[in-house]
Amino acid sequence: MTGFSTSADGTRIAFQREGNGPAIILVGSANQFRAFDTGTAEVARMLAENGFTAITFDRRGRGESMDTLPFDVDREVDDIRALLDVAGGSAALYGSSSGAVLCLWAAAVLPGATRLVLWEPPLDLESDGSENLAGLEERLAAGDREGAVAFFMRDMPRQWFEGAKNSPAWPTLLSIAHTLAYDAAVLEKAERGATLPGEWGSIAVPTIVLLGEETQPIFPPAADAIVGALPNASQRRIDARNHGWAPEVMAREITEFLTA
C-alpha cells in the first residue's frame, strides 16, 4: 500500500507499506528514495515475506515527499514519528549510513522505536561536522549542485563519484543535491569529536550496528563508540563491502536480529 503521512509541520511524507506482522521502518541514507533505491525496496519485500510489516518512505525533499524550509533535524525525527503512527504506534527502525544516525536521534526521543538496526553509521570521531555542512551549504547557495555532490563524496573512492557522474542516474542525483545538506546536518549534530551525544545514552532498546567484512576506516571506530555509548548495543560483521550489501544478506540479518 502506498500512502502519505503528515508530519508535525504539515509536510506530507510518501511511504509504502507491505506485509503483515511486527513493523519495521527503513530509513534511507543520502540520495536514497523509493523510486531510486531498488535495493532497499527488495529488502522490504523480503522482510514482508518473512512476516513483517515493512515501511519504506521518501525522506523529505526527495521523491514524492514534500519539503518545508528551513530544514531541521528535529523535523526529520517528526517524520519518523508520523510513520510510527502509520505502523500502529511502534516499530523497529533500520537505518542506512546517515539514515542510521537519524535513527539514533529518533530513538532518543520516540518511545515507539522498539529496536535499531544500524548499517555503517558514518560518524567522524575526529570532526565536529561543521566544515562538511558549511561546504555543502556554500556550494548549494551558489547553485553548484555538481560541486555539492563532489564535495559530499570527497572522502570516498574517486571512482565512486566518476561512476555516479557517468551513470543514467546523474540527473536524479543533481535534482536532490540540496538534500545532501540535510544528511550533513544529521551528522553535524552528532559529530562532537570523540564524545557522542549524551542523549543517545538513554537509548535502551536492543541495537545492532552492522559493518561489512570489507569496510572503510571511518566505520569501525564509529561502531565501537556507539556500542560503548548505548547500554544494549552490539555489533556484527556481515558479508558486505564498499558500504553496500546484497538485499538477501541485509534482509537475513534484520530478520535474525528482530526474531532473536
- Number of domains composing the chain: 2
Residues 99 and 203 in one domain: yes
Residues 137 and 11 in one domain: no
- Residue partners of 127: CB distance under 8 A and separation at least 6: 191, 193
Residues 56 and 82 in one domain: yes
Place of cell 570527497: 154
Q: At what angle do helices 98-107 and 73-86 cross, to 10 degrees?
A: 70
Summarize the confidence of residues 187-204 as an average pLDDT.
Answer: 90
Residues 176 and 103 in one domain: no
Summarize the confidence of residues 15-31 as an average pLDDT.
Answer: 97
Residues 118 and 207 in one domain: yes
- What is the Cα–Cα distance from 104 to 203, expressed in whole angstroms? 8
Summarize the confidence of residues 78-89 as an average pLDDT.
Answer: 98
- pLDDT of res. 33: 86
CATH code (residue 36): 3.40.50.1820
- pLDDT of res. 4: 98
Given 115, 147, 180, the domain boundary residue is 180
Residues 119 and 138 in one domain: no
Q: Which domain holds residue 252?
A: 2-123+196-259
Model confidence at 35, pLDDT cuts 50, 70, 90, reads confident
Residue 111 has pLDDT above 80, yes or no: yes
Residues 115 and 163 in one domain: no
Residues 155 and 174 in one domain: yes
Residues 13 and 84 in one domain: yes
Runs of H (alpha helix) within the chain: 38-49, 73-86, 98-107, 130-141, 145-152, 158-165, 170-175, 180-188, 219-229, 247-259
Whether 185 is covered by a domain: the verdict is no
